[in-house]
């Protein structure tokens, strides 16, 4: 049966709205919430309903959150041409500026050592590498100073069973499977579709929906034992 409203747990904080980004810690103990108009990101202990503010100045609020699978770091994109990476022990951060626009989306390698991200208006995927700090150096983010381009998804022509098609464009979403072998991306260019490349190899396949169907959400199964299992939610309401 449908749970009643009395089963809901409501977390609220003055001035922290509208909340458009949420991210659970892999352990399930902490929850991050963020708003594009609030310069403070909140770290919630859901069991006690208490939170800690992570405040910074410059760059606006937060438009996108991604917690690394190992729980060590958090990507926080902003509405401006800068994003931050927080380490989740002492909650210190480092910032990276982008040249042309805001960080559109990002995802972490399974061990948290590599961050892939895209920039609004561009059709390339960037990569940042992170070092692991121990002992006295704990609490440092440790990211590389500059990002490198690892994939160019500019529009190009392919021969398919349906004839010649032009595929490629701006990346709007990315997910990396738990084995680290597969990366799935949503490309926003007619016709929109899901590209499933294997890094660092070139793209290896395209997933096609029904006619006029646009991919909206993608996710890999977190515990699939036989490789990578991808789920796609389409604009038609269907899931494949």
| Other CB atoms within 10 A of residue 198 CB | 15
Question: Measured between alpha carbons, how far is 72 from 6 in angstroms, rounded to an integer?
Answer: 34
Q: Give a yes or no: residue 31 inside a domain.
A: no
Which pLDDT score, from 0 to 100, does residue 193 have? 58
Alpha carbons 86 and 74: distance in angstroms, whole number: 5
What does pTM read for this prediction?
0.86
Confirm if 56 and 93 have CB atoms less than 8 A apart. yes
Domain count for the chain:
1
Q: Is residue 80 part of a domain?
A: yes
Cis peptide leading into 18, omega within 30 of 0?
Answer: yes
Does residue 89 belong to any structural domain of this protein? yes
Is residue 16 situated within a structural domain?
A: no
| Distance, CA of 82 to CA of 96 (rounded, Å) | 6
Q: Which domain holds residue 89?
A: 65-234
Q: Is residue 38 part of a domain?
A: no
Provide Rg for the chain, Cα atoms.
19
Q: Is residue 229 part of a domain?
A: yes
Residues contacting residue 102 through CB under 8 Å, at least 6 positions apart: 63, 77, 78, 79, 80, 81, 82, 83, 119, 120
pLDDT at 135: 44
Predicted local distance difference test score (pLDDT) of residue 138: 56
Report the pLDDT value the prediction gives residue 190, as an integer from 0 to 100: 55
pLDDT for position 156: 80
> DSSP for 127-187?
EEEB----GGGTT---B-SS-EEEEE---EEEEETTEEEEE--EEEEEEE-TTSS-EEEEE
Report the pLDDT value the prediction gives residue 65, as an integer from 0 to 100. 96
Whether the CB-CB separation of 69 and 26 falls below 8 Å is answered with: yes
**163: CATH:** 2.130.10.10
Question: Does any domain span residue 192?
Answer: yes
Q: How far apart are CA 160 and CA 155, in angstroms?
A: 15
CA distances from 78 to 18, 32, 98, 166, 240 (A): 14, 15, 11, 32, 31
Please state, in angstroms and as integers, the Cα–Cα distance from residue 121 to each residue in 13, 37, 98, 203, following that order.
34, 22, 12, 20
In tens digits, the chain (240 residues) has pLDDT values of 677 777 788 899 999 999 999 999 999 999 999 999 998 999 999 999 999 999 876 667 999 999 999 999 999 999 999 899 999 988 988 888 887 889 999 999 999 999 999 999 899 999 999 887 554 455 567 777 788 999 888 888 877 777 787 778 889 899 999 998 899 999 876 555 566 554 555 556 777 777 778 889 999 999 898 888 999 999 899 998
């Amino acid at each position: 049966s449908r749970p009643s409203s009395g089963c809901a747990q409501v977390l609220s904080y003055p001035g922290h709205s509208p909340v458009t980004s949420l991210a659970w810690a892999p352990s399930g103990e902490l929850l991050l919430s963020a708003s594009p108009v609030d310069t403070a990101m909140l770290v919630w202990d859901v069991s006690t309903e208490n939170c800690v503010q992570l405040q910074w100045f410059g760059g606006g609020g937060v438009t996108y959150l991604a917690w690394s699978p190992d729980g060590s770091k958090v990507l926080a994109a902003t509405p401006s041409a800068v994003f931050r990476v927080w380490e989740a022990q002492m909650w210190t951060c480092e910032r990276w500026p982008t040249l042309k626009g805001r960080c559109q989306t990002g995802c972490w390698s399974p061990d948290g050592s590599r961050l892939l991200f895209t920039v609004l208006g561009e059709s390339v995927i960037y990569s940042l590498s992170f070092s692991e700090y121990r002992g006295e150096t704990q609490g440092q983010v440790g990211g590389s100073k500059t990002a490198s381009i690892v994939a160019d998804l500019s529009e190009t022509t392919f021969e398919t069973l349906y004839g010649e098609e032009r595929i490629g464009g701006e990346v709007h979403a990315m997910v990396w499977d738990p084995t680290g072998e597969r990366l799935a991306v949503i490309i926003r260019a007619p016709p929109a579709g899901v590209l499933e490349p294997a890094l660092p190899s070139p793209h290896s396949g395209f997933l096609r929906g029904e006619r006029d169907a646009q991919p909206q959400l993608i996710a890999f199964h977190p515990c699939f034992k036989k490789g990578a299992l991808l789920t796609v939610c389409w604009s038609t309401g269907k899931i494949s």
